[in-house]
Amino acid sequence: MEAQSSSGLLLSRKRRREGSNGETEEGERLGKIPRCTVGLKHPAPFADELEPAATPYERVNMEEAKRGTPPDRPVRVYADGIFDVFHSGHARALMQAKCLFPNTHLIVGVCSDDLTHKYKGFTVMNEDERYDAIRHCRYVDEVVRNAPWTLTPEFLARHRIDFVAHDDIPYSSAGSDDVYKHIKEAGMFAPTQRTEGISTSDIITRIVRDYDVYVRRNLQRGYTAKELNVSFINEKKYHLQERVDKVKRKVRDVEEKSKEFVQKVEEKSIDLIQKWEEKSREFIGNFLQMFGPEGALKHMLKEGKGRMLQAISPRQSPNSSPTREERSPSPTFRLPFFTKTSPPPSPPPHHSGARGYLISDDDDEDDEN
């Protein structure tokens, strides 16, 4: 049951696939799984390199396999295929086969080049490359080289196979409507699910569809026209296209940079205009506060004018004039160009008339002279 639960968790991970309208569909993503270290350090062995089993072969039925088998007797599940251009769809199918039962030993059969070219067509990878790719898949326990196209009872008994895992879609080939029909009738078939949107044919279709792009890509990486089976004229054409594309990329880069520059200039100009508006408002406010109708300058002028008028206007005379005795004596003035010492104080001056003036001795001497 533990293997089945882990299988459900792995299959429920996010899967992206393209629908008929080109949109991607995303499955639900469950919670994160605990961190662990898988102790796989070596590739899976080939079946013809293993020692023969000592115990006799007794097949396990479906109920016993689902219930669980002893550790020394795992359920031996067989999955076969071409596995050309090994991709995630292949890995998911093998993962499902590995997780069919709690205790599973997964055997994977890979068909040879001769058999594949005869019944299916030419492959991108040769048989040795396909064998090695399967050996390094983490779900595989054993690899059968040169696997048969149609499974026989002798082959099943020789490899002690309990169940055969494959998708449930009828596989018509080699003059048969379904090469797994007799396996299904024997109750040894365990269905798996295909991963939509990914297959070897889809990958090859992408390459063929964008053939020119990949040829130019490899020419840039140092492959020769002879290695790519490209004619001299096509080679020159691809080089010319590459140069044109470089010019286009440069023009595009210049346009993007110019747009960025213009955008930066616009942003800076907007900032400058905003700052100028703020400063101008501040300047106008300060100007009106100083020179406006009710500004500080008007109040200063009014205050200064009042002080000037107060300073130059005569004082208001009292209602009653003081008497002669109350008046203070007039000060004595001395011309600055006379340097002689002052004579002793003269007797009190005499008054002449109603208004008397104080005449000093110096004034008398001036009169005599």
Q: Specify the amino acid at residue 142.
A: E
CA distances from 115 to 95, 148, 179 (A): 25, 8, 15
pLDDT by 10s per residue, the chain, length 369? 444 444 444 444 444 444 444 444 444 455 676 766 656 788 999 998 998 888 888 899 999 999 999 988 999 999 999 999 999 999 999 999 999 999 999 999 999 999 999 998 999 999 999 999 999 999 999 999 999 999 999 999 999 999 999 998 888 876 788 899 999 999 999 999 999 989 999 999 999 999 988 998 898 889 999 988 889 898 888 888 888 888 988 898 898 888 888 888 888 888 888 888 888 888 888 887 777 777 777 777 777 777 777 778 766 655 655 555 555 555 554 544 444 445 555 555 544 444 444 444 454 444 443
Per-residue DSSP letter, 47: G
Pairing of strands 16-18, 24-26: antiparallel
First to last CA, the chain: 152
92 CB burial (10 A radius; 0-12, 13-18, 19+): buried
Pairing of strands 163-167, 75-81: parallel
> Can you list the domains of the chain with their CATH numbers?
47-197 (3.40.50.620), 201-300 (no CATH)
